[in-house]
Amino acid sequence: MSLPKIKEARELSDAALAEQILAAKRQLMELRLQQATGRMEKPHLFKHVKHRVAQLMTVERERQIAASLEAAEKLAASKEAAQPAPTATLSQESEAAEPTIAKFAG
């Protein structure tokens, strides 16, 4: 039995991904139980199941990060659209500030 490919995990839906994670963790628990009771026939399955759990959790985390980035972009875009445009330009502001500075200096 070869190690599972991450491509297969990326093709799963969010619900199926969560279900697969739960199933793999249960299988890992059963393997530990078999090892503790001395009924373990295929010890290499530990490696396969741990690898699968890591793949599934990686895909789940990738999706969480992508969703949070997407939400942050939407929030930034909505804030940008909500801000009013500045009415005075920088040159107008500096010209208006210069006479007050000149009054204090002289």
Return the CATH number at 26. 1.10.287.310
Asked, for residue 98, whether it belongs to a domain, the answer is: no
Structure tokens at 44: 């290499």
Closest among 49, 17, 19, 20 to 33, alpha carbons compared:
49
Asked, for residue 93, whether it belongs to a domain, the answer is: no
Per-residue pLDDT, 77: 87
Per-residue pLDDT, 37: 94
Per-residue pLDDT, 26: 98
Per-residue pLDDT, 93: 55
Asked, for residue 76, whether it belongs to a domain, the answer is: yes
pLDDT higher than 80, residue 98: no
Per-residue pLDDT, 78: 86
* pTM, two decimal places: 0.70
Per-residue pLDDT, 39: 92
Let me know: does 60 contact 25? Beta carbons within 8 Å.
Answer: no
Asked, for residue 61, whether it belongs to a domain, the answer is: yes
User: Structural domain tally of the chain?
Assistant: 1
Asked, for residue 96, whether it belongs to a domain, the answer is: no
Q: Which domain holds residue 39?
A: 6-85
Per-residue pLDDT, 100: 56
